[in-house]
Each structure stands twice: as structure tokens, then as C-alpha cells.
Structure 1
Amino acid sequence: MDKYSSYLYHAVYSVLRSAKDAEDVTQEALLKIYASLPQYQYQGLKTWMTRIAVNKAIDHKRAMERKREQLTADIEDMLPEDSTHTVEEEVLENQRRQQIKQYLDDIPANYREVVVAYYIEDKSYQEIAAEQGVTLKTVESKLYRAKQWIRKHWKEEEWR
């Protein structure tokens, strides 16, 4: 484990692109490798271990995609079915999207990145911290300050 865990972590990370998920899947892969040692045929240990780890990563990625698809389907099921969109409704929706984009552009850049990553891209604090190379506390502070800025500069009536 000591000799190959770092190597396997990097192989798993190359599939998942998430440090937290890569750590978890690497641990699962190491357990699977240990449990599968009696079946090992003494041909290319590193290749055999890598194949197990990468397969675990692919399985994890597929499971996450299925969960995401199921969540999206559940949300769509909760929305009222209105297949008769009028041109007026589409124009109003496009205007609303433009307004939201404009509001996001007004947020100071150092806050905008965190707000977009957290609320629009649905990333966790850990993912944002890793991507931006900052601490978790920094992400929390930026989100808190962004919320304060939004409360101060955006009027609630504009969102109704």
C-alpha cells in the first residue's frame, strides 16, 4: 500500500478530476486489491493494480452521473408541465436570463468566481478551494462577503 498508493491515487484522479473522490476511490481500490490478491496470477502487479483502481474510478464516475441524471429527472418531474410556451413567455425568460447575467457581472470579480462556482456550477467548498488554490476558510469568507454585497446592492423587488 505504501509503495503504490500515491501512484494509484494519481491514476484515479486522472479519471475523476476531484481530489476528495480520488482519495475515496483509491481507498476502495486498495481494499479491492487486497481482497483480490488470491486471484492475482503473478503477471504485472502494477498493471493489475492500476486496472482495478481505474475500473473503480470509472464505476464511481458512472454512479455519480446516474445520480445527477436522476436528480435532474426528479426536479423536472416536480416542475409543472407547460408545453405551450408562448413567444411572450420565451422573451420574458430570455430577458430574465440577461438580467441575471448582468447582475452577476456587477458582482466584484473576487466574489463572482466563488458565487458562480458554488451557486451555478454547484461545486462544494472543497472543490472551489482546490481549484482556486485557497483555503476552505477563504472560500467561506468570500461567499459570506458576496452575500453581504448582494444584500446591499440588489433590490428584492427586482427579482419578483
Structure 2
Amino acid sequence: MRHGDELAFRELVAAYGTYIYQTIYAVVRHKKDAEDLSQDVWTRIYFSLPQYENRGLKTWITRIAVNRAIDFKRSASRRQEDIVEEPQTHLPLGASLAEVDIEHEVMLKETAELVRRKLHQIPDNYQDVLIAFYIHHQSYQDIAEMQGIAVKTVESKLYRAKQWLRQHWKEEDFQ
């Protein structure tokens, strides 16, 4: 697909076209803009394929879509010249809290889907924290209270669980 295989690219568009549109629409909240941006995103994906590193295709195309939608929304706000300044502490340069939340939500849903599909492979000592965090969307504090452990222990278990996942799973397994 990376070397100009148009049929493979068409299959990619067919498989993820609706997903990309919905992702963009979640940011821009306007049907026509989402349609136009979808076309632009697919063009960007096509021309960016030589830089794709064969790791996390869905995550990679999602990031392109979300970033393009955020850029579009930012430029539309600038054109209207009635931007309300938001505090920029702890946010990426130029991003609003709503934009960061949407990207985080998309990534969280995607991760939850991956975990659900391969859950039986995860060691028992990691399953509980992964299920609580990614599937039930519980905070570290909530997990700590439910398991009767310290928040630092939850952080540590989640870190080790993510390391295990990185070592044993490839996103291509989920495609």
C-alpha cells in the first residue's frame, strides 16, 4: 500500500472512511465541513504513507484526522475574529480544552476496543487495572479505593501493564 497500490488505498478508505468522517465531525460539528475535511485528510494520508512506520495504522490516521480538524477549527475561529482567550496551562500550544478532550476520548475508545479483543492474553495481575481504567474509565483514585491499594501502586501496575502490552501486542493484530 505504501508504494502506490491504489486498490489497497481504496480498501483502506472503504474500511475507515466512515470512522474518519465521524472523528472529524466530533471536532467540527458541521456536516459539510466534515465532508470536505475528510477528503483533505485522505489526501494527506495518501501522501504521508511513505513516512508511515507500520505501527498503529488506525491510531496514525486518527491523529491525522483529529489534528486536521483542530487546525480547521482554529483557523475558522481566527477568521471570525471573536476568539475568547482560554488559559493555555497544561494544553498543547494553541489547543483548547474541548479539542484535547475530543482527541483523548477518541484514543481512549480505540484503546478500550483493543483491550476488549485480546483481554484473555493479558496476565491476571494486569487485567484488573486495565479493565478498570480503559473499559470502565475509572480514575486512579477510584481503582485504588476499589482494590485497597495506594494510588502510586495503581500507577505502577498500569505502567507495567502498558509495557507488557507494548512488548506482546502489535496493533496490526487488531486490524
TM-score range, shorter chain: 0.3 to 0.5
State TM-score, norm by structure 1: 0.43
State TM-score, norm by structure 2: 0.39
Query: Max radius of gyration: which structure?
Result: 1
The higher relative CO (CA closer than 8 Å, separation ≥ 6) is in: 2
